[in-house]
Structure 1
Amino acid sequence: MRRTLLVVLATAALTATAVPASAIQPALHWGKCPADISAPALQCASLEVPLDYRNPAGTKISVEISRLPSSDPAKRRGVLLFNPGGPGGTGLTFPLEMAQAGLPTSLLAEYDLIGFDPRGVVHSSPVSCDLKPEQLLTIVPNYAHNPAEVTAAATSAKQISRQCATSTSASILPYINTANTARDMDQIRAALGESKISYFGLSYGTYLGGVYASLFPERTDRVVLDSILGPDGYDITASRRFAEGMQDRFPDFAKWAAVRDSSYGLGATPAEVTANFFKLADKLDQHPTGGFDGSLFRSATHSLIYQTSAFPRLAQLWQAFRTDQAPPDDSLPSTSGPIQSQVTTMLSVVCGDHAWPRQISTYQRNVAHDRAAYPMLGGATANVWPCAAWSYQPSEPPVRFSDQGPSNLLLVQNLRDPATPLSGAQDTREAFGNRARMVTVDQGGHGVALPYLNSCGFNAVIDYLVHGNRPGTDKFCGAEANATRKLTPQQQQVADKITDRLRQY
């Protein structure tokens, strides 16, 4: 699916379905955040928005917003809205997490930092497909070794789709999509009394930010998109690109583990570490251990190479399987608490933004191709998602990125990103044309704008957000020797939070 879907032809046609800024401007009543959020520095408020923007007077839902006020109101220039990705990621605490990771005092003075749980997520009219714990672990399909296993995945996908269509949230799910979340963002802007917003989006948040900048171009100030999805968001192409990203990124872990063979015993050379990946996957396919089969082992490895700081956790997991020990207690992603609404929202967005192929034969061909091209993960990420049997057609055409609008987008991208590989970022860069500049960083992992990673990439983001200085042309940042330096305890805690959040998808 490479832009073969119907698209909206003009920005005017897109914004016509949005509620005018003057129609909804309720006062926000800032107070304590929900009880499950332990963050005294944050203030929270609720905002009512239309469930269906084509019927603004109809059913309303609630969106929960957070604020970390400017540290120096005399220097405040506006608001900076954050989205941590997903889709389905909870965002209320993300501004505070970024501040704790090391955002400079100049940026903390420049903006009120605004977070929000997108519609459907946790504190914002949460939705649920009533999925069982084992289903929550298999939203990303199992690794298919043959056509019969693709057929089996289709059966599981149909069951999940049926549960969503018969759940208590069924009437809401068709309206949980990226375009409506972007319209919610504009209602947040209006409720804050701002004529424009600045924005920082990570991962899926780059697509959400791109959609906002396409729907409401004149209401954007300084926009940063970090770790960039392709211009069609999470469609079947993006799903298959996860396998490409793992092949790009895994060599970094293989080199790291080989240097530490005396500690972990995973292989004395990168080639030996790579060979042991396939041996462990085969071993767990035959003899699942501690809740892990080969598919879950592949998925866990993929999620734990998102952040270099998680390499020790991954090495310990491998070490346990190699020595027939039980894996660490925190090895499996959580299937309790807010994850139900997060996964349901993810499905609603991914399946509701685009129409996915319905024929099993399409996925069988894709799996055969990607299993050969990207053997580490391709047999899973090309397999059948619940979107292949989704009960609802997209409620509107997907938003198309174009070069029409203000030139105020800064894209930052690692060369070896396991989730949003460089190929997708380059497609988005091309789609935005002169509206954007891109900083490409010789670094592995998911995320650029953290101060303990690559200073060149991080400084490019801060210089733009604080001073408005964006590179005149696209820029390349070379590798830095301190890219794997030891983190402070607070930075490690934040890195672990980001890693665990990403592991849920």
Structure 2
Amino acid sequence: MTKVHWSIFALLLFLSGLAACGANDDDDPGSGPGQAQDDDDDDSTADDAGDDDDDVTPPAIDWGSCPDYIQLDATMDAECATARLPLDYEKKNSKTIPVFLYRVSGSAATKRGQVWFLQGGPGGSGADFAQLFQVYAAVYPDLDFYSLDHRGVGNSARLTCPQEEVEPFDYQGCAASLRDQWGDDLMAFSTTNAAYDVSVLIEAVRESGVPVYVYGGSYGTYWLQRLLQLSPQRIDGAILDSICSPGFTKLDEYDPHFNEIGHQIMDTCATDATCAEKLGTIDADPWTALGKVYEKIDAGDLCLALGDVDRTLLREGLGLLETDYFLRVVIPSVIYRLNRCAPKDVLALNNLLTILEGKKKIITDPDKLASDYTLGTSIILAELYGDTTYAEALNFVNQAYFSVDAGLLIGEIFDWGQWPIYPDDGYMNRWADTDVPLLMLNGDFDPQTTLSMATPAGEHFTGSAQTFVTVPYSPHGVITGSPTPTAIAAYFENDLETFLTSTCGAQMIFDFLADPTGPVDTECLAAIPPLEFSGDSLVNQYMSLALYGTTDMWEGIPAGKRTAVPHFLPNPFAPRRWR
């Protein structure tokens, strides 16, 4: 068994982690208004689909050793390389940029598949999959696992500026710095060119007779769908996990979606005997009870012994907790303890705040190349933003009960209107038409890619080997966010191998990889434990002990003050930087 100790609190929030995706019913393929688009007479259109990399000779890949954040230990068969690929696939004899890729190979002599993983963000690093690859290659030795850094990220010609390391972010200075560094070449850092990168690299490492599969998570599903527009013939099957549907994915709906799923969690509380009883001491309706806690904050008399607890801290804390299958179980008890504010509650809540602050420190590591905010800003404003102003975003979050406030900074940059973004290349917010076998997965408790933005993919891709699965109780990242009882037991034991291979998402994915054209076995869906808030659940006791310092999340007295973050199994999507 593979056993490691990582922090469960290394969560993937897009933009701040998991996915910079929000839904919008406006399927206008154009970019958001008011941005500084640089037009080019050579812009491609969808009519040229699949042509722009036909004349590109796949480069020879010179595999070598990997940095330690990928080569996790001496037993891991990881290899890394940097390929020189065209900066702009529309231009003949384009200058080139470095694109970083790596693989972890199974030990079997005969392989049944190469599986590429595309990270989300936009701006996440493919290096974040290294832990999964180590486990998967050991359990499935007849598969090889590949990933890359999206162009503009990590070791792939990273878009960077001095201003991004300073708070508050000087986006005007950063934009000027990027223009000085790249000039018009900045327009080539697009989803389309990144999809061409994947297409060319697939051909560069393809082995005769070995099928190629591609997995995308969150923005990675958007990137993958662009690949399906351009080069579907190079893929034998694809998995879309936590889906950004073209035309239904807008960042300005990101914070509203957190509030929506937060409301759903509180509605679940209303049907739970323990939770309804506890919050019933505030109000019979849990959502209204939370509103009354916010009213106390506004009045300045909520749990003064705890210190400066304001709306921003509470809504962002609740938003952060709701992203994780395990962490979210304490949300109602946070509200209950805040309202009561007994000495034991102050100690428990201070322990929780220590955990959340420690989480930020864990995944804010400037020594490791990873998620890139500048690349993410460019793609979001070009393809994944509607027309919400900063004032509108601020007005919303100030009234929200759950939010990660992702829309504020990007809304401010949107209002400024001068961030350099690329124009519509004919592929933005348009569907691929393909019969490639697809497995599409989305949780019904996912605040980053809600069902409303995922289900259009299931309605569009209806081929005989294209399956959409709604995963009950799962948050973002079904591959790890759909634990079965076996996975939960492994979680408690820090048995990473069993945990990562026995979630329902992982079971369905590897079932699909074994037979992409056959029916997907979804029997494990019934085994995913429902969201509940009792005090006697082992999961709830475990998380209460981890976060509060007592096994009783409702009434327990913590054993003492928390001074460090406890270590658990990871959310393997974890980014290495968090803004």
Are positions 1:90 and 2:114 aligned together?
no
* 1:440 and 1:475 in contact (8 A); partners too: no
User: What SS is found at the alignment partner of 1:44?
Assistant: strand
* 2:29 and 2:424 in contact (8 A); partners too: no
* 1:246 and 1:377 in contact (8 A); partners too: no
Deviations along 1:349-404, one digit per CA (max 9) or x if unpaired, are: 212335753x84xx6567767877x6533986488252442433433334354462
Are positions 1:174 and 2:187 aligned together?
yes
User: What SS is found at the alignment partner of 1:80?
Assistant: strand
Counterpart of 1:377, as a letter, is S
Deviations along 1:199-233, one digit per CA (max 9) or x if unpaired, are: 11111111111111121111111101111122237
Deviations along 1:102-137, one digit per CA (max 9) or x if unpaired, are: x4866x23321001111111221111132244336x
* Gapped regions of structure 2 (runs ≥ 5): 1-23, 32-42, 485-502, 533-537, 547-566
- Equivalent of residue 446 in structure 1, options 473, 476, 479: 476
* 1:91 and 1:115 in contact (8 A); partners too: yes
**Whole-angstrom CA distance in 2 between matches of 1:284 and 1:215:** 56
Equivalent residue number for residue 386 of structure 1: 413
- Equivalent of residue 458 in structure 2, options 410, 420, 429: 429
Counterpart of 1:97, as a letter, is L
User: What SS is found at the alignment partner of 1:31?
Assistant: coil
Are positions 1:417 and 2:451 aligned together?
no
Are positions 1:495 and 2:570 aligned together?
yes
- Equivalent of residue 66 in structure 1, options 87, 102, 109: 102
Counterpart of 1:126, as a letter, is R
* 1:225 and 1:410 in contact (8 A); partners too: yes
Q: For structure 1, which segment, 401-410 or 473-482, has the greater mean C-alpha deviation from structure 2 after superposition?
A: 473-482
In the TM superposition, what is the alpha-carbon distance from 1:169 to its structure 2 partner?
4.5
* 2:79 and 2:103 in contact (8 A); partners too: yes
User: What SS is found at the alignment partner of 1:308?
Assistant: coil
1:90 to 1:277, Cα distance in 2 relative to 1, 3 A? farther
Equivalent residue number for residue 218 of structure 1: 233
Counterpart of 2:402, as a letter, is M
In the TM superposition, what is the alpha-carbon distance from 1:299 to its structure 2 partner?
3.0
* 1:304 and 1:503 in contact (8 A); partners too: no
* 1:31 and 1:45 in contact (8 A); partners too: yes
1:347 to 1:10, Cα distance in 2 relative to 1, 3 A? closer
In the TM superposition, what is the alpha-carbon distance from 1:62 to its structure 2 partner?
0.9
User: What SS is found at the alignment partner of 2:65?
Assistant: coil
- Equivalent of residue 373 in structure 2, options 343, 347, 351: 343
* 1:414 and 1:444 in contact (8 A); partners too: yes
**Whole-angstrom CA distance in 2 between matches of 1:281 and 1:348:** 37
* 1:310 and 1:496 in contact (8 A); partners too: no
**Whole-angstrom CA distance in 2 between matches of 1:291 and 1:15:** 55
- Equivalent of residue 51 in structure 1, options 81, 87, 94: 87
- Equivalent of residue 151 in structure 2, options 104, 119, 125: 119
1:251 to 1:189, Cα distance in 2 relative to 1, 3 A? same
Equivalent residue number for residue 428 of structure 2: 399
Q: For structure 1, which segment, 317-326 or 109-118, has the greater mean C-alpha deviation from structure 2 after superposition?
A: 317-326
Counterpart of 2:122, as a letter, is P
* 2:442 and 2:471 in contact (8 A); partners too: yes
**Whole-angstrom CA distance in 2 between matches of 1:116 and 1:170:** 22
Equivalent residue number for residue 324 of structure 2: 307
* 2:27 and 2:248 in contact (8 A); partners too: no
In the TM superposition, what is the alpha-carbon distance from 1:325 to its structure 2 partner?
4.3
Report the identity percentage. Answer: 21
User: What SS is found at the alignment partner of 2:201?
Assistant: helix
In the TM superposition, what is the alpha-carbon distance from 1:342 to its structure 2 partner?
1.4
**Whole-angstrom CA distance in 1 between matches of 2:301 and 2:430:** 42
Deviations along 1:452-474, one digit per CA (max 9) or x if unpaired, are: 61555443222111232543899
Q: For structure 1, which segment, 454-463 or 88-97, has the greater mean C-alpha deviation from structure 2 after superposition?
A: 454-463
**Whole-angstrom CA distance in 2 between matches of 1:245 and 1:503:** 26
Deviations along 1:231-251, one digit per CA (max 9) or x if unpaired, are: 237534653653355335533
Counterpart of 1:466, as a letter, is A
Higher Cα Rg, which structure: 2
- Equivalent of residue 377 in structure 1, options 391, 403, 407: 403
Deviations along 1:243-267, one digit per CA (max 9) or x if unpaired, are: 3553355338958999599999x98
**Whole-angstrom CA distance in 2 between matches of 1:496 and 1:400:** 29
**Whole-angstrom CA distance in 2 between matches of 1:385 and 1:59:** 33
**Whole-angstrom CA distance in 1 between matches of 2:447 and 2:144:** 31
Equivalent residue number for residue 562 of structure 2: none
**Whole-angstrom CA distance in 2 between matches of 1:419 and 1:224:** 18
Alignment of 1:284-299 (within 5 A): 294-295=311-312, 297-299=314-316
Alignment of 1:10-25 (within 5 A): 12-16=47-51, 18-20=52-54, 23-25=56-58
Equivalent residue number for residue 145 of structure 1: none
In the TM superposition, what is the alpha-carbon distance from 1:89 to its structure 2 partner?
0.9
1:186 to 1:403, Cα distance in 2 relative to 1, 3 A? closer
Deviations along 1:420-466, one digit per CA (max 9) or x if unpaired, are: 00000112222334373201111131122238615554432221112
Counterpart of 1:495, as a letter, is P
**Superposition RMSD in Å:** 4.6
User: What SS is found at the alignment partner of 2:434?
Assistant: coil
User: What SS is found at the alignment partner of 2:570?
Assistant: helix
In the TM superposition, what is the alpha-carbon distance from 1:268 to its structure 2 partner?
10
In the TM superposition, what is the alpha-carbon distance from 1:475 to its structure 2 partner?
9.6
1:248 to 1:457, Cα distance in 2 relative to 1, 3 A? farther
1:118 to 1:412, Cα distance in 2 relative to 1, 3 A? same
TM-score, normalised via structure 1 length = 0.76
**Whole-angstrom CA distance in 2 between matches of 1:452 and 1:403:** 28
* Gapped regions of structure 1 (runs ≥ 5): 137-158
Alignment of 1:99-114 (within 5 A): 99-100=134-135, 103=136, 108-114=140-146
- Larger RCO, structure (CA 8 Å, separation 6 or more): 2
